């Protein structure tokens, strides 16, 4: 993360200090602190971090009003640039965030505790999804299996990842992912039927092993690390997933597998000696590959992602802050973060002004009163407009 200007951008630091961000800060400051796919891997990671706190990006009142900002404080202007508050309490010229990305794409701007910071695109993504870089093991998975972590400076740096890197999506041509915690050496977990996996060197095997003679793999209940037994009765109290992963089966006192419960939401996932139902998403939730994508996918009633569907003519898959709105004509509410400017969408139709309604559809255009002229600014799919006099 880098300061912008002379003063100076999915785990979880709750208070940031300037000293923790960069060595070049002139004074200390503290504040509370759209990719493709996601799916079960992202859901599992977020679920594992519940209770540890999350960091939300927000705009501080210190610069919410253009009439009087605090000198030396930077703010984001859209997703790719920033402004610095000048000594006369007015905002300076817009400056690009270019140069902070490791893969040659445009860098992004993120707001933390009311201050804007230029960061690598991957680190921007993780921060907007509640994972503050530097403390969370999040970043980028490379094709060769290596992991690059988002540092406290908001840039990527190679890092050891004994448990392997799990990719959850892509952004600007790189794989967004997180580092798995290493598994216990020698641990074994059933995968279904006769198949199981084994932990070696802190990582689960890429290719499963099979019990001899296609005997069923049974999880062993009372062990310090997950273990399996090929064939024979199951251990009472242990659980496993049904063959189609739609339900949980429980081992009875007689050592036989019995139906236990169907997965109303999500699918069954095995975790050591026990199985559980886990949803990929919340029913009705939408997902965009990026803001302005031509397709979206929605979460079905079973808590599983449906296939991606092209947006109807005149709509795009839009984001409002970190929230995917699905296929809509425009962004009509700033409650979740608004468009790239933090506002609702607006556009000029000739000399007339049209604003986006709360249902994310365009309102009928209206003429500017008293001889005013409609002016608009566009950035990607986001646009803002007003009447100037």
pLDDT digits (tens, 9 = 90+) for 184-242: 899 999 888 899 999 988 888 889 999 999 998 999 887 788 899 999 898 898 898 88
Check: CB of residue 183 under 8 Å from CB of residue 163: yes
Query: Residue 354: what pLDDT?
Result: 95
Query: Residue 102: what pLDDT?
Result: 67
- Name the one residue in this structure whose structure tokens are 């029913």: 283
Q: Per 3-state DSSP, what percentage of the chain is helix, strand, and coil (rounded to 5)?
A: 10, 40, 55
How far is the C-alpha of 278 from the C-alpha of 302, rounded, in Å? 10
Contacts of residue 104, Cβ cutoff 8 Å, sequence gap at least 6: none
How far is the C-alpha of 48 from the C-alpha of 5, rounded, in Å? 37
How far is the C-alpha of 260 from the C-alpha of 234, rounded, in Å? 15
Residue 152: pLDDT band by 50, 70, 90 thresholds? confident
pLDDT tens sequence across 73-91: 998 887 788 889 999 988 8
How far is the C-alpha of 27 from the C-alpha of 49, rounded, in Å? 33
Cα Dmax for the chain? 87
In angstroms, what CA-CA distances link 46 with 34, 38, 122, 129?
Answer: 17, 11, 17, 10
Instruction: Check pLDDT > 90 for residue 248.
Output: yes
How far is the C-alpha of 298 from the C-alpha of 286, rounded, in Å? 4
Instruction: Check pLDDT > 50 for residue 137.
Output: yes
- Name the one residue in this structure whose structure tokens are 């009372």: 222
Residue 100: pLDDT band by 50, 70, 90 thresholds? low
pLDDT tens sequence across 1-22: 443 432 222 222 222 222 222 2
What mean pLDDT is reported for the chain? Answer: 78
Instruction: Please calculate the CA angle 199-201-205 and round it to the nearest 5 degrees.
Output: 40
Where would I find the H helices in the chain? Answer: 18-21, 39-48, 121-128
- Rounded mean pLDDT, 170-180: 83
CA-based nearest residue to 108, from 34, 19, 13, 208: 34
Burial of 159 (0-12, 13-18, 19+ CB in 10 A): middle
Check: CB of residue 106 under 8 Å from CB of residue 97: yes
Instruction: Check pLDDT > 90 for residue 295.
Output: yes
Range with lowest mean pLDDT among 5-19, 43-57, 101-115, 365-379 = 5-19
Query: Residue 374: what pLDDT?
Result: 93
DSSP code of residue 3: -
- Rounded mean pLDDT, 356-360: 94
């Amino acid at each position: 993360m880098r300061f912008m200007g002379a003063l100076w951008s999915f785990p979880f630091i709750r208070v940031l200090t300037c000293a923790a961000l960069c060595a070049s800060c002139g004074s200390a400051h503290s504040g509370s602190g759209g990719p493709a796919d996601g799916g079960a891997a992202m859901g599992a990671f977020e679920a594992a971090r519940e209770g540890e706190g999350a960091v939300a990006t927000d705009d501080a009142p210190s610069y919410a009003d253009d009439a009087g900002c605090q000198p030396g404080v930077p703010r984001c202007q859209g997703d790719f640039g920033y402004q610095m508050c000048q000594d006369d309490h007015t905002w300076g010229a817009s400056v690009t965030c270019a140069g902070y990305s490791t893969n040659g794409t445009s860098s992004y701007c993120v707001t933390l505790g009311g201050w804007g910071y230029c960061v690598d695109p991957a680190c921007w993504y993780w921060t907007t999804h509640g994972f503050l870089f530097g403390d969370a093991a999040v970043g980028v998975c490379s094709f060769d299996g290596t992991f690059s972590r988002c540092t406290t400076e908001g840039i990527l740096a190679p890092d050891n990842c004994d448990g392997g890197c799990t990719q959850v999506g892509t952004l600007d041509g790189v794989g967004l992912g997180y580092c798995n915690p290493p598994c216990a050496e020698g641990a074994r977990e059933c995968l279904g039927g006769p198949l199981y996996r084994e932990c070696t060197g802190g990582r689960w095997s890429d290719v499963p092993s099979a019990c001899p003679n296609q005997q069923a793999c049974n999880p062993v209940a009372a062990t310090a690390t997950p273990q399996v037994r090929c064939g024979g009765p199951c251990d009472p109290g242990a659980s496993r997933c049904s063959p189609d992963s739609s339900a949980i089966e429980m081992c009875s006192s007689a050592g036989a597998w019995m139906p236990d419960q169907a997965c109303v939401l999500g699918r069954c996932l095995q975790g050591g000696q026990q199985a559980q139902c886990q949803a990929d998403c919340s029913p009705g939730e939408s997902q965009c590959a990026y803001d302005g994508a031509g397709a979206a996918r929605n979460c079905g009633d079973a808590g599983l992602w449906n296939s991606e569907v092209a947006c109807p003519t005149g709509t795009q898959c839009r984001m409002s802050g970190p929230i995917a709105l699905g296929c809509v004509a425009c962004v009509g509410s700033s409650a979740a973060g608004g468009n790239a400017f933090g506002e609702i969408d607006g556009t000029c139709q000739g000399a007339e002004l049209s604003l986006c309604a709360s249902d994310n559809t365009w309102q009928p255009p209206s003429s500017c009163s008293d001889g005013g002229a409609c002016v608009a600014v566009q950035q990607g799919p986001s646009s803002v407009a007003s009447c100037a006099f």
